[in-house]
């Protein structure tokens, strides 16, 4: 059911470059605290790079919600049944050099170890409220040990990259993208942080605040990078 909902959306870059949805979920989860029965994170890719995240969430007492976050560096459009339903203003994420990071290692295996180490230096919190949580409740998020996707290549802007998730219980609320950019001695690690939630949120790297957002719940503005559809009745 969840994959069918996600596949109903057709995404394009610059209004004419098709984006491919990965058929299998990048991550599947449930959250007993929020009453979630089943949920799955899906990825849309272009030129072997993730350009959008989508989560389909089933709450048996309410219905199904579809949430999206742009990871694109250019204009992105999502259509359903031939109608534009999401058109965020670019860019979906903003990258910056990662301070005090070591130079990217020369091998894929060692770079993956580096990315896991660097991702572990991030922490994040989300402030949630009714109807599911008490007003002003603060949740410290935990890092999933495995990245949602690895990407990049010799001819790409990102020579190597990975997407990580920080979760409340198992619910991904914040993501971190790490990319090795540049050539030779000029190659450096870059990062971007973004939400998979409309609640107030903050993220830190080595105790320095690097990203934050104000409460935009329920986040139903289709011009925003993070966008929610629902509830939709399950089949």
pTM of the model: 0.92
3-state secondary structure of 186: helix
Predicted confidence band at 235 (pLDDT cuts at 50, 70, 90)? low
Predicted confidence band at 13 (pLDDT cuts at 50, 70, 90)? very high
Residue 75 φ/ψ, nearest 5 degrees: -60, 140
pLDDT of residue 105: 94
pLDDT tens-digit readout, 183-221: 888 899 999 999 999 999 999 999 999 999 999 877 888
In the numeric block, the tokens 């896991």 are attached to 116
3-state secondary structure of 105: coil
pLDDT tens-digit readout, 89-134: 878 999 999 999 999 999 999 999 999 999 999 999 999 998 788 8
pLDDT of residue 154: 81
Residues 6+ apart with CB under 8 A from 131: none
Q: How distant, in Å, are the alpha carbons of 31, 82, 138 from that of 146?
A: 19, 36, 24
Q: Residues 163, 50: contact at Cβ < 8 Å?
A: yes
Q: How distant, in Å, are the alpha carbons of 19, 144, 166, 203 from that of 141?
A: 30, 10, 6, 10
- The whole-angstrom distance between residue 155's C-alpha and the CA centroid of its chain comes to 24
pLDDT tens-digit readout, 67-94: 999 999 999 999 999 899 999 987 899 9
**Measured between alpha carbons, how far is 150 from 5 in angstroms, rounded to an integer?**
24
């Amino acid at each position: 059911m969840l994959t069918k909902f996600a596949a109903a959306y057709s995404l394009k870059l610059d209004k004419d470059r098709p984006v491919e949805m990965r058929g299998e979920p990048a991550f599947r989860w449930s959250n007993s605290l929020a009453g979630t029965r089943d949920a799955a994170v899906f990825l849309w890719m272009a030129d072997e790079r993730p350009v959008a995240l989508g989560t389909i969430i089933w709450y048996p007492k309410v219905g199904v919600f579809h949430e999206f976050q742009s990871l694109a560096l250019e204009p992105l459009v999502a259509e359903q049944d031939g109608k534009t339903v999401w058109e965020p203003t670019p860019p979906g994420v903003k990258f910056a050099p990662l301070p005090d990071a070591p130079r990217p290692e020369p091998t894929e295996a060692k770079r993956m170890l580096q990315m896991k180490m660097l991702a572990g230096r991030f922490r994040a919190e989300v402030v949630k409220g009714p109807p599911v949580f008490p007003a002003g409740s603060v949740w410290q998020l935990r890092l999933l040990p495995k990245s949602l996707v690895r990407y990049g290549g010799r001819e790409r802007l990102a020579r190597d990259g990975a997407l990580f998730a920080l979760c409340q219980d198992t619910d991904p609320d914040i993501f971190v993208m790490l990319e090795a950019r540049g050539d030779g001695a000029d190659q450096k690690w870059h990062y971007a942080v973004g939400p998979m939630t409309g609640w107030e949120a903050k993220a830190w790297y080595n105790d320095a605040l690097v990203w934050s957002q104000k409460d935009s719940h329920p986040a139903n503005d289709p011009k925003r990078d993070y966008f929610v559809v629902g509830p939709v009745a399950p089949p």
